[in-house]
């Protein structure tokens, strides 16, 4: 099943665009901390490695989901749902890390809240868009 390509769906198009932009920004920011020993790494402070690696690697999934949504592919809806669920799970694991006294930055809480909210929204828009077109 694919979404009807004629006429387009503004919600799906917007979700896809946000996913792609968010993916590019995620790869740039995460890659700067992970692979470049410079200002970005110093400014990152007490980053949590498993969260950083998860977010960086998911940047590739963000791009794939965004491209798939633009092409109106059903798998992109499922990938978006997977990204939302796995991001929420990593956020939960991050919370356990904090509760166990692990070092962290407040901006990680903000970033994970933003990521979880954005991907839940993208997944909902994708799901609703596919359901609407399936009828």
Average pLDDT score over residue span 129-133: 76
CA distance 88 to 86: 5
Q: What is the percentage of the chain residues whose pLDDT exceeds 70?
A: 92
Structure tokens given for 79: 């990938």
Residue 2: beta bridge partners?
Answer: 73
Structure tokens given for 112: 């994970």
Average pLDDT score over residue span 15-23: 96
Q: Give residue limits of the domains in the chain.
A: 10-134
Q: What is the dihedral sign for C-alpha 116, 117, 121, 122?
A: negative
User: Nearest CA to 48 among 117, 112, 113, 116?
Assistant: 112
pLDDT at 9 over 90: no
Note the Cα 8 to chain centre separation in Å.
Answer: 23
Q: Any idea what DSSP says for residue 25?
A: H
CA distance 24 to 60: 8
Q: What is the percentage of the chain residues whose pLDDT exceeds 90?
A: 75
3-state secondary structure of 2: strand
CA distance 22 to 56: 11
Say what the pLDDT of residue 1 is.
Answer: 44
Average pLDDT score over residue span 80-94: 98
pLDDT digits (tens, 9 = 90+) for 33-73: 999 888 888 888 899 999 999 999 999 999 999 999 999 99
């Amino acid at each position: 099943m694919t979404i009807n390509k004629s006429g387009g769906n503004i919600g799906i198009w917007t979700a896809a665009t946000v996913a792609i932009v968010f993916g590019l920004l995620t790869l740039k920011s995460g890659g700067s901390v992970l692979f470049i020993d410079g200002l970005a790494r110093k400014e990152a402070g007490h980053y949590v490695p498993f969260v950083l690696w998860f977010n960086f690697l998911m940047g590739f999934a963000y791009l794939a989901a965004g491209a798939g949504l633009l092409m109106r592919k059903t798998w992109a809806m499922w990938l978006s749902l997977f990204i939302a669920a796995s991001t929420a799970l990593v956020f939960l694991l991050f919370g356990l890390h904090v509760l166990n006294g692990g070092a962290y930055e407040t901006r990680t809480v903000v970033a994970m809240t933003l990521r979880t909210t954005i991907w839940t929204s993208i997944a909902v828009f994708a799901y609703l868009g596919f359901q609407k077109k399936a009828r």
